[in-house]
Amino acid sequence: MKPEAVSPLLVRKYNQPVPRYTSYPTVPYWQEGINVDAWKDVFRETFHQENHTQGISLYIHLPFCESLCTYCGCNKKITTNHSVEEEYLLAIAKEWKLYRKLMQQTPVIRELHLGGGTPTFFSPRNLQRLLDSILRDSIVHPQHAFSIEGHPNNTTPAHLKVLFEAGFRRISYGVQDLDPEVQRVINRVQPFERVQEATEAARDAGFTSVNFDLIYGLPLQTLESIENTIGAVIKLRPDRIAFYSYAHVPWTSRSQRLFDESHLPSPEEKILLYLKGKELLIAAGYEDIGMDHFALPGDELARARAEGRLHRNFMGYTTQDTGLLLGLGVSSISDAGGAYAQNAKTLHDYYADINKGVLSVKKGYFLNEEDRVFRKYILDIACRGAARFRSDDAALLRQYSFPLLQPLSEDGLLLWNEQGLQLTGPGYQFLRNVCAAFDLHLLRGAASGNGTGRFSKAI
């Protein structure tokens, strides 16, 4: 089955800067220097509500990489000096103890994700130390989901053995693209054979879910190169594939300034890259989960979507919705339902705070009732492609959202009335634009002249 065609006119019309909606309100609307004591209160209350029912989610940011991938917008530290592992592990252990004091009971860990950076930069021994420091005084939920981001070039059987024994069953490899010229220009050279070896090693170690991250819209990519990359990837049959749009944000990611922008595909070319990739993935038996994610029918992500259990947070789409996500490490983000908190973005500031025995929370946001309601609309659209409207919200919806839904409807992207909306097939290609119709912070900012320039374009 081929994806439904998307008009180049619609691509040009809707290729505007909009958020990716891993949170609402989105990070640019958070406040610097939030009240840390107030954050502690919200965290403590949410923890006690969630711990014995759902359990909690835990994200640990491991920022180090040995080389710079020039497309990357993540918080990272480039070094080949592995002695940095020791100081960072000590800081994570200290931060965890600070949160453990707030918990006042044994945490039940439902979800654990190691992200980066390159988590497999750390030696197997140090990864084991990290996990032991977290898990030895925790309860692992019987339905836990533990995952890690790995680099095909440095993930070893020893890494995989340590992770498997700690309960990890899913690994996500950053493949991005398999064309040698594209790999050269983004400074991420990893031959197909190495990706194949890493994939087979994970399965041999007992991992039941292997994810590949791919990117479309990179410099020098063509329809032919995308077709070759997807064709090679399909041979390895990863359980999930995240097929991300390259976010060109050189104003925040200095490494992207190294690109010759004439080598980037146009918006019209970029959507064709995506549609070709999607066509090949669907033909190979993958299901479109939404917002750049695909999964085999038997994968838990596909089952969660079919059963209406899909959730979205800072880690992307997930099957877990615990109500509390705690982020540890530099730049990590926590979500306590009623509040967000982000750690210091530099190692210097993060270490300084943690070594003083205080949380390194520098930025965040406390949600009001309006935020909670419109966050649910955005999550429902992102995870289920539909939303039901509350009559209590009619005035705000008529003022901000409905005027934007009408042109989206006229362009065939959704069906709607004052009771709710449902995306059409083509509408899924513009999911971020539909979500933006419910982003009151974005819409009020645009009306006041404080607009969307801080976000990447939708396509």
Share of the chain above pLDDT 90, in %: 75
Name residues whose C-beta falls within 8 Å of residue 265's C-beta, 6 or more positions apart in sequence. 217, 221, 273
Give the pLDDT score at 7: 77
Where do the domains of the chain lie, and which CATH numbers do they carry? 1-25+369-458 (1.10.10.920), 27-328 (3.30.750.200)
Instruction: Give the pLDDT of the chain (459 residues) as one tens digit per residue.
Output: 455 566 778 878 888 888 989 899 999 999 999 999 999 999 999 999 999 899 999 999 999 999 999 888 788 999 999 999 999 999 999 999 999 999 999 999 999 999 999 999 999 999 999 999 999 999 999 999 999 999 999 999 999 999 999 999 999 999 999 999 999 999 999 999 999 999 999 999 999 999 999 999 999 999 999 999 999 999 999 999 999 888 766 656 666 666 667 788 888 888 889 889 999 999 999 998 887 899 999 999 999 888 888 888 887 788 877 899 999 999 999 999 999 999 999 999 999 999 999 999 999 999 999 999 999 999 999 999 999 999 999 999 999 999 999 999 999 999 999 999 999 988 988 899 999 999 999 999 876 555 545 677 767
Hey, how many other C-beta atoms are within 10 angstroms of the C-beta on 210?
A: 21
**Residue closest to 77 by CA, chosen among 40, 142, 121:** 121
Separation in Å, CA 158 to CA 115, 195, 205, 206: 18, 17, 9, 13
Instruction: Please name every residue paired with 343 in a beta bridge, in sequence order, or none if there are none.
Output: 361
Burial 356-391 (b: 16+ CB within 10 A, else e): eeebbbbbbbbbeeebebbbebbbbbbbebebebee
Instruction: Please name every residue paired with 170 in a beta bridge, in sequence order, or none if there are none.
Output: 147, 209
Please report, in range form, the residues annotated as the binding site.
59, 65, 69, 71-73, 116-118, 149, 176, 188, 213, 247, 333
Give the pLDDT score at 255: 63
Contact 439, 24 (CB under 8 A): yes
Angle at 57 between CA 130 and CA 299, to 5 degrees: 100
Give the pair of three-digit tokens for residue 357.
């025995």
Give the pLDDT score at 176: 95
Query: Model confidence over 134-174: pLDDT tens digits?
Result: 999 999 999 999 999 999 999 999 999 999 999 999 999 99
Identify residue 314 by its one-letter amino acid code: F
Angle at 235 between CA 230 and CA 236, to 5 degrees: 100
Contact 173, 212 (CB under 8 A): yes
Query: Model confidence over 167-210: pLDDT tens digits?
Result: 999 999 999 999 999 999 999 999 999 999 999 999 999 999 99
Give the pLDDT score at 165: 98
Please report, in range form, the residues annotated as the binding site for S-adenosyl-L-methionine.
59, 71-73, 116-118, 149, 176, 188, 213, 247, 333
Give the pLDDT score at 45: 97
**Residue closest to 233 by CA, chosen among 189, 304, 286, 270:** 286
Name residues whose C-beta falls within 8 Å of residue 91's C-beta, 6 or more positions apart in sequence. 329, 350, 351, 354, 355
Give the pair of three-digit tokens for residue 160.
């995989």
Name residues whose C-beta falls within 8 Å of residue 364's C-beta, 6 or more positions apart in sequence. 30, 31, 34, 39, 339, 340, 341, 342
Tell me the DSSP string of 350-413.
Answer: HHHHHHTTS--EEEEEE--HHHHHHHHHHHHHHHHSEEE--GGGHHHIIIIIHHHHHHHHHTTS
Give the pLDDT score at 1: 46
Separation in Å, CA 98 to CA 43, 88, 340, 384: 12, 15, 17, 37
C-alpha 363/C-alpha 368 separation (Å) is: 17
Contact 423, 431 (CB under 8 A): yes
C-alpha 328/C-alpha 338 separation (Å) is: 18
Contact 175, 213 (CB under 8 A): yes
Please report, in range form, the residues annotated as the binding site for [4Fe-4S] cluster.
65, 69, 72
C-alpha 293/C-alpha 243 separation (Å) is: 6
